[in-house]
Amino acid sequence: MCGILGVVSYSPANQLLYDGLQVLQHRGQDAAGIATMDGDTIHLHKGNGLVRDVFRTRNMRALQGNTGIAHVRYPTAGSAVDHNEAQPFYVNSPFGIVLGHNGNLTNAEELKKQLFVQDLRHVNTNSDSEVLLNVLAHELQSKSKGLRLDADSIFAAVSGVHQRCRGAYAVVAIIAGYGLLAFRDIYGIRPLVIGVNETPEGNEYLIASESVALDTLGFKFLRDVAPGEAVFVDFQGRLYTRQCSDNAQLSPCIFEYVYFSRPDSVIDGISVHESRLYMGEYLADKLARIWPDVKIDVVIPIPDSSRPSALQLANRLNILFREGFVKNRYIGRTFIMPGQAMRKKSVRQKLNAIGLEFKGKNVLLVDDSIVRGTTSREIVQMARDAGALKVYFASAAPPVRYPNVYGIDMPSRAELIATGRTDEEICREIGADALIYQDLEDLKSSVRKANPAIAEFEASCFDGIYITGDITPAYLDKVERGRSAGKANKSADDDQMELELAMSASSM
Ligand SMILES: O=P(O)(O)OC[C@H]1O[C@H](OP(=O)(O)OP(=O)(O)O)[C@H](O)[C@@H]1O
Ligand SMILES: NC(=O)CC[C@H](N)C(=O)O
Ligand SMILES: [Mg+2]
């Protein structure tokens, strides 16, 4: 789940993009990059690590120009350790283009072959985002009028991208000599918003994965980029928009609301915080229905993401709510760290129990989701060690049973604690006295309550329904095999590098 930004401004873009990346850091902790356009030159700096580690003063000084794009990476294709896969990516033909991508292409392999054989383009990494950039470059080449591009030909190229690419993609790109281009896949699986800042010189535009970046950087929210839509801002600050697909249908990823996005963001007309409050209410009602005789003394959230749901659940059931775990503010998100060993270690580094809140009590621990079970296993044990009598566990999302192929790194069924297990078996695995999950329909209602216009969600990790229609069991097997092969082929150096990356994320 990467974070992307793009700006056309009347003042230097470098600091603005850096500050924007800092508030999108929760979307990717493995690599970061910024590209700016200054006259005829594209400046690019990227590398592995957190935003604050990748950019030094000298790098920032070199990022000249008032237009730029930026990216934080959470890898879902290729590898976490290959710094060549950090974004933005650059190509020099038919125009200088830099691109940042959030999502995951499901036909990247096939496209890579096509690019080589038909389009005479070489893709140098295992990143699907480099494939996407080359598809865009090829489409721009075939739609350009000789050496000239205009908004019509740029939008025609995006239509070409929609026809060739499958999967999830929210994209920002700079086309040298022309301007900033952004677009969203035809289902709008990954989020993308536009903001404006009115200045005496004219309007400045900012495109971002989440509205929190607009708030922080002083831009006014204009609207979400629609699924299938492209937005083009030229270097004179003129905004052009067009729907580039006849088959667009909004189906945003429901996991953005459960976990990924910041609660202070509004995505597709839905406040993430509000949707999490509703998740708590629905879960409370289910709990009252199916556990009428269970005595709970205190509701305790697992910081950070479950806090709004846990609070609202406790309110609804009129049970005491207490913070029982202290989170080390210098540790990053564990779920998006590379490598299970590091994820496991960092749960203990990240969270510590306050004995007083557990001793002699029946506690209900609430988390937003249980994916690999790394957090829940550790936390249940910590609650017992702290003296809890009974430890009940509630998840504000349903069991995660299916791989995600649209930009969340859970490609293998074997990694998911809920695959092939009943709720009772999962409960035993995490060591709780009882476990309750949100129902999928209730989760959808929680999110829809804030915007009833959304008919469909991309919820494949919960229901195994893949909205793009191209995901077969054979495809999933192949992704899973690719993943295990990748792990088996990893060298000791790769392991060391992965560990260092995770250590740097864990010292946030
Ligand atoms: O079952 P698991 O594989 O452990 O994954 C689920 C956990 O991971 C996430 O927390 P994370 O620490 O990443 O971020 P947070 O601080 O935003 O809650 C999520 O909020 C759950 O707590
Ligand atoms: N999570 C994402 O959006 C990842 C983008 C891209 N697939 C990569 O691996 O770099
Ligand atoms: Mg968490």
Whether the CA torsion 406, 408, 411, 414 is positive or negative: it is negative
Domains parsed from the chain with CATH numbers: 3-249 (3.60.20.10), 271-328+346-456 (3.40.50.2020)
Pocket test for ligand 1, best of 1, 300, 375, 415 (most atoms within 8 A of CB): 375
CA of 175 to the centre of ligand 1 (A): 37
> Is the pLDDT at 346 greater than 80, yes or no?
no
Share of the chain above pLDDT 90, in %: 84
Tokens for 331, please give them: 């540790």
Question: Whole-model pTM?
Answer: 0.94
Q: Give the residue among 95, 427, 78 at the shortest CA–CA distance from 87.
A: 78
Ligand 1 pocket residue status of 415, Cβ below 6 Å = no
Ligand 2 pocket, CB under 6 A: 1-2, 73-78, 85, 101-104, 127-129, 407
| Alpha-carbon span 352 to 359, nearest angstrom | 14
User: How many other C-beta atoms can be found within 10 angstroms of the C-beta atom of residue 209?
Assistant: 31
Residues with catalytic roles: 2
Cβ-contact 6, 69 below 8 angstroms: yes
Per DSSP, 25 falls in state G
Cβ-contact 398, 346 below 8 angstroms: no
Q: Model confidence at 410, in pLDDT bands (50, 70, 90)?
A: confident
Tokens for 26, please give them: 């929760």
**b (16+ CB within 10 A) / e for 235-262:** bebebbbbebbeebebbbbbbbbbbbbb
User: Which residues, in sequence order, are CB contacts of 116 under 8 Å at separation 6+?
Assistant: 122, 123
Is 275 or 329 the better-scoring residue by pLDDT? 275
| Alpha-carbon span 325 to 159, nearest angstrom | 49
Cα Dmax for the chain: 77
Would the annotation count 368 as a binding residue? Answer: yes
Q: Give the residue among 174, 194, 169, 172 at the shortest CA–CA distance from 184.
A: 169
> Is the pLDDT at 221 greater than 60, yes or no?
yes
pLDDT score, position 79 = 75
Whether the CA torsion 167, 173, 175, 180 is positive or negative: it is positive
DSSP 479-496: HHHHHHHHHHT--HHHHH
How does pLDDT run across 280-299, given as a tens digit for each residue?
A: 999 999 999 999 999 999 99
**Ligand 3 ion: Cβ-proximal residues, 5 Å cutoff:** 305
Cβ-contact 220, 214 below 8 angstroms: yes
Q: Model confidence at 490, in pLDDT bands (50, 70, 90)?
A: very low
E strand residue ranges, 56-125: 67-73, 89-91, 97-105
| Alpha-carbon span 325 to 333, nearest angstrom | 15
> Is the pLDDT at 503 greater than 70, yes or no?
no
Pocket test for ligand 1, best of 304, 305, 330 (most atoms within 8 A of CB): 305
pLDDT score, position 215 = 98
> Is the pLDDT at 19 greater than 50, yes or no?
yes
Is 157 or 335 the better-scoring residue by pLDDT? 157
Phi and psi, residue 203, nearest 5° = -80, 135
Residues forming a β-bridge with 141: none
| CA triple 494-500-501, angle to 5 deg | 90
- Ligand of minimum distance to the alpha carbon of 372: 1
pLDDT score, position 492 = 45
Would the annotation count 305 as a binding residue? Answer: yes
- Ligand of minimum distance to the alpha carbon of 349: 1
Q: Model confidence at 495, in pLDDT bands (50, 70, 90)?
A: very low
